Structure 1
C-alpha cells in the first residue's frame, strides 16, 4: 500500500510540474535558471604563483638571483617574494585581494612592497586587522603612552587590494622584501 501511495504521489508531482512548466511564468523562471547556470559557468578563475629571489650585492650593484619557490639563505640575507595572479577565466577579475604572511624567522623590509594600482595594508596582529601605517603603543619615560610606527619586526602580513580589474588572460604581480633574522 505504501509503495502504491509513493508511486502515485510521484506521478502526480511529475504531471503537476510538467503542466506548470508549460505556463509562461514558469517558462521564464526556467530561462532565468539557464541564464544563472551560464553565468556561473563564466566565472573568473585566478591562479596564484609565489616565487622567491635572493638579493646579491657585488661591486655596489644589486641584482636578484631567482630561485623559483625555494632558496638557501643566511641571517641578514634579503629575499624578495613575488606573487603573480593570472586570470585563467573568461571574465575580468575585479577587486582582487592578495594577502601574504611574513615567513617565520624573517622581518619585513619597510617600504619594499610593489603596488601597481593597489592599496597596500599591513598587519601586526597575525592577520586579524590591516592598516596602511601600523602603529604600536610605546610607554615613555614619563609614564605616558604614545603611538609610534610599528618596527619592521612587528609586521606579520602584507595585503594588496588591486584597484584595476585583471582582464582574461592577463596577470598582476606584486612583491615584498624580507630580511632573514
Structure 2
C-alpha cells in the first residue's frame, strides 16, 4: 500500500512558512518475489499488492523529503514493524542514516545488536543472563538522519515477512 504521510515537525531555529510541511514522507510497500528469467533467479517487486499470504516477503521503503529552504539536522524517522509481520533485514542500498531498533513497540530505541536480560536455570539455580535480541523480535525501526539538505530526499527501508 502507498501512504502519503505529512509530518509536522517542530524544528529549532526559525519559523516555517504557514501551510508548508517541512518534511514529506511517502511510504511504499511492495511484495518481493523471486522469478526465474532465462534460467536466472531474479528479484521482482510488485507495488501495492492486492493481497499477501503467510511467508510472503514485503519491502517497506519510505522516502523522506526536506521541503524547507535550509538543511535540517538530526531528523528522526520511525516506522513500526506491522504486527502481522516479522522483521527480516534492512533494505540493501537505501539506508543512509544511523539505524536503531525497538523491541517494546517504539518506546525505546538502540543500535543493533540489542541485548535483553533473561532468567535461565543452571545447576538448579536461577541465573540472569544478557542475550542478544533476534531481529525477528524488533517491533519498530528508527533512522536518524544527521543532516538532510534543503530540497533533498533520501530513501530508508527494511524487509519483513508475513506471519
Q: TM-score range by the shorter chain?
A: 0.7 to 0.9
* Counterpart residue number, 1:84: 63
* Counterpart residue number, 1:45: 22
Query: Deviation at 1:146?
Result: 1.4
SS of structure 1 residue aligned to 2:148 = coil
Alignment of 1:49-88 (within 5 A): 49-59=26-36, 61-68=41-48, 71-88=50-67
Whichever structure has more helix as a proportion of its residues is 1
Alignment of 1:22-171 (within 5 A): 39-41=14-16, 45-59=22-36, 61-68=41-48, 71-112=50-91, 114-116=94-96, 118-132=97-111, 133-142=113-122, 143-163=126-146, 165-171=147-153
Q: Deviations over 1:41-60 (max 9, x none)?
A: 46871111100111111236
User: Could you say what the CA RMSD is over the residues aligned between the two structures, in angstroms?
Assistant: 2.2
Query: Deviation at 1:87?
Result: 1.4
Q: Is the 8 A contact 1:89 1:169 kept in 2?
A: yes
Query: Deviation at 1:158?
Result: 0.2
User: Which runs of no fewer than 5 residues in structure 2 stay unpaired?
Assistant: 1-13
Query: Deviation at 1:169?
Result: 2.0
| Residue from 156, 160, 163 that aligns with 1:178 | 160
Higher relative contact order structure (alpha carbons within 8 Å, sequence separation ≥ 6): 2
User: Which runs of no fewer than 5 residues in structure 1 stay unpaired?
Assistant: 1-38
- Pairs aligned (count): 140
Q: Is the 8 A contact 2:89 2:158 kept in 1?
A: no
Normalising by structure 2, we get a TM-score of 0.75
SS of structure 2 residue aligned to 1:153 = helix
Q: Is the 8 A contact 2:16 2:22 kept in 1?
A: no
